[in-house]
A = this chain, B = another copy of it.
Amino acid sequence: MTNPTAAMLVIGDEILSGRTRDANMHHLAGELIGRGIRLREVRIVPDVHDRIVAAVNGLRAENDHLFTSGGIGPTHDDITADAVAAAFGVPIGIRDDARALLAAHYARTGLELNPARLRMARIPDGADLIENPVSAAPGFSLGNVHVMAGVPAIFQAMLASVLSRIAGGVPLLSQMIDVGRGEGDIATPLGALAQKFPDLSFGSYPYLRNGAHGTQIVVRGTDAGRLDAAMVELSRLVGRDG
């Protein structure tokens, strides 16, 4: 049983400058894990053509899916669609069905479909549109690359549409135990347990709360029975050491 893999590419100076705190990555991560799709890498790059092209080509080759966010609006710094077309080596131009979506939306809202807005109908050849129920301007899927907007409400709607069309894997299950002391107290038995259950992953996440150290241990895997067995042993280890 293999689970599909994915990467995410966030395109936007605003994240790298600290102006905006990205919200889409965390949303995507949560959606993918429930569907058994492993998010293996996230990259954030600025609005620079060559950097986007290189990241798209690197990440799409290494993963079953690449999800991008940002850079598909009407302004001069929205260059994602052109960069993705360049990455695939395909032409890009205004597409009739995308233009029709925009024309209907702006007719409804009373705004002008001016040349800047018409740029949002530029779609690389061979792509499938991704519906935008919020503001009409579509995203697109080209090969295994899914190009979506950066505005969180639109990103989430587009992602839901994409995820309804792609195959997931065996859902990854997880169980968590909160240990009221530092990682160092439990690291050695935890490491031994991880070796005993090589089919599961054991994450150890230290935290500070009111000046006190604690640790959350998260065990993940696809077999509920194995997960239960590991949790029984883990509880015993943690209890016995306590």
Interface residues of A (CB under 8 A from B): 13-22, 25-26, 28-33, 38-47, 51, 73-78, 111, 114-117, 119-120, 134-135, 151, 153-154, 172, 174, 182-188, 190-191, 194, 201-208, 213, 218, 220
What's the minimum C-beta distance from A38 to chain B, rounded to whole angstroms? 8
Most B CB atoms within 10 A — which of A51, A183, A213? Answer: A183
Residues of chain B contacted by A186 (CB below 8 angstroms): 75
Quick one: closest B residue to A32, CB to CB?
B18
With contacts A16-B29, A184-B74, A218-B14 known, is A207 near B151, CB below 8 A?
A: yes
Residues of chain B contacted by A18 (CB below 8 angstroms): 26, 28-33, 39
Separation of A204 and B73 alpha carbons in the complex (Å): 9
Determine which of B16, B78, B116 lies in contact with A40 in the assembled complex, contact meaning CB atoms within 8 Å. B16
Q: Are B73 and A206 in contact (CB under 8 A)?
A: yes
With contacts A151-B206, A208-B151 known, is A114 near B188, CB below 8 A?
A: yes
Q: Are A74 and B183 in contact (CB under 8 A)?
A: yes
Residues of chain B contacted by A120 (CB below 8 angstroms): 184
With contacts A18-B33, A33-B17 known, is A203 near B77, CB below 8 A?
A: yes
Separation of A203 and B205 alpha carbons in the complex (Å): 37
